[in-house]
Structure formats: structure tokens, C-alpha cells
Amino acid sequence: MPEGDTVWRTANTLRDALDGKVLTVCDVRVPRYATVDFSGHRVQAVHSVGKHLAVEVAHHVIHSHLKMEGAWHVYRPGTRWRRPAYQARIVLATDDRVAVGFELGVVEILDTLEEAVGYLGPDLLGPCWDAALAVANLAADPSRPIGLALLDQRNLAGLGNVYRNEICFVRGVDPRTPVREVDLAPMVDLSYRSIVANKDRNARTFTGDLRAGRHFWVYGRDGKPCRRCGTAVRFGLLGDDPTEERQIYWCPRCQPPVGVTAAQ
């Protein structure tokens, strides 16, 4: 699933294409909203909140979420689309641009964006980022594994699985460690600094090395030697229940388990 930095860049691309311009086409290919047509209305704003995208037009909000397969593309009129038309869930066009949302996990028309994102914690890339609130949110469930707490968008919005694994490694914390055993303020600070550093990069890096195959400390490197100590990187699954498990990667030497039970 695209993480907050990817969605932030997508919002910038859509903003350049749509913000302040009059829509000439508004084709919402979702049955519930098939009759919605904002053609002739000027786009008032385009922005992201965590992993959510919003296009404000005609005093409504077109809310979308990429989920796993979604993407927004922007084309010049008449340009061939890079994905098949049957995957398009919404088309928004102006005189000089065509924005197409392909395979979006969510497309809905709302009166306010708050309806979609009101539950979110502070947005790491938002104008009102609040580190203290993020720390308090994480601390509210002390027995939860930190690797799950960091992914919970109610605590802080924008982190995904890559960030979760890399941040835990840099902080020397096993992702299965209970929140109560973690120094949360530095963890939140690193989360913020990492996503801000990567927000303008098409290929994010956590090691500081931009060469191919050198971007990550542990993510996707199961069985390979740790870049710090040479110990084989471990792989596992972590989730609140079996249907929500996602991959975790860690170095058992650089990230010693603290308070990790056998069940985890």
C-alpha cells in the first residue's frame, strides 16, 4: 500500500493539474455516484491527509484512497493512457490536463473531508503535525506491539509497512516489542524526519545510500546479512488477527526482543 510520502507527491501532481481550474469532464465510474457531474465547476483545492486524497469542488469533496493497487495518472488531452480504461474509476479533465484514478480502493463524494479522515491521528506531512499527540496516542495502548501501533492511522497518519520496519531497525527496537517498553518520543521524531526526508524522492532511502539495492536496512532483506552487524535478517508476520498480518523484518542482534512473548 502506498505510504504517506507517495500520497503527498500524488496530491502535488493532482494540484498542478487541477487546482483552480474548471472541470470540463467529471466521470465518476462508481455506480453509487454515476450521476455526479461537477463539469463546469472550478476545483477549489487538492490535498492529502495521511494516505487519503481530496479534491474539493462545488462545495463537495472527491475523496479517494489508493489502497494496494490504486494510482492517479495525469495526461495531456489525447495522450494514450498507461493503464486500460476498464481500470479507471474516475476521470477529471480540464482544458489542458486529464487526471485518471485507476483501481482506487475508495472513491466517494462527501460533503466534508472530515467524514473520511476525522478518525486519523496527526498527519506526519500535514501543516498541523503534532508530535506530542502522536506520542500520547501510541502510549494509550501500552501492551500493543510497537510494530502494530505505528501502522495504526488513528495514532499518527502516513506510515506504512516499509517505514514501520525501517524505523524500528534504526531505533534498535524489535517490532514485536510492547509499546510500554519503547521510548516513544525518539521513535515519533524519527518517523517524522524520515518521511519528510523522503517526501520529494521517487525512490525513498533509509540508509542514505541512493544506489539500487542499498536503500533499506532490513525491509525485504530476510536471510541477508544485516548491514550493521552481519547477522541474518529475520522475517515474520505481525497483525491484530491472522487476516491483518503483514511482513516484519528485523535483525535479532541489533533489535533484541524486550517483553516479546512466544505468542507473538
Which of 73, 81, 78, 100 shows the shortest CA–CA distance to 89?
Answer: 100
Cα 6 to Cα 66, 168, 198, 199, 214: the distances in Å are: 10, 20, 9, 7, 19
Which of 81, 91, 102, 83 shows the shortest CA–CA distance to 27?
Answer: 91
Is 15 marked active-site? no
Contact 49, 119 (CB under 8 A): no
Q: Which listed residue (51, 89, 171, 176) is catalytic?
A: 51
Q: Which listed residue (227, 234, 246, 257) is catalytic?
A: 246
Instruction: Give the integer Cα–Cα distance in Å for 122 and 132.
Output: 10
Is 32 marked active-site? no
Instruction: Give the integer Cα–Cα distance in Å for 262 and 240.
Output: 15
Q: Which listed residue (2, 145, 175, 178) is catalytic?
A: 2
Is 2 marked active-site? yes
Contact 51, 65 (CB under 8 A): yes
Strand order in the sheet with 71-75: 25-28, 88-93, 98-102, 71-75
Instruction: Give the integer Cα–Cα distance in Å for 240 and 151.
Output: 11
Is 199 marked active-site? no
Which of 109, 93, 88 shows the shortest CA–CA distance to 36?
Answer: 109
Instruction: Give the integer Cα–Cα distance in Å for 13 and 97.
Output: 11
Buried/exposed code over 62-101 (b: 16+ C-beta within 10 A; e: otherwise): bbbbbeeebbbbbeeeeeeeeeeeebbbbbbbbeebbbbb
Active site residues: 2-3, 51, 246
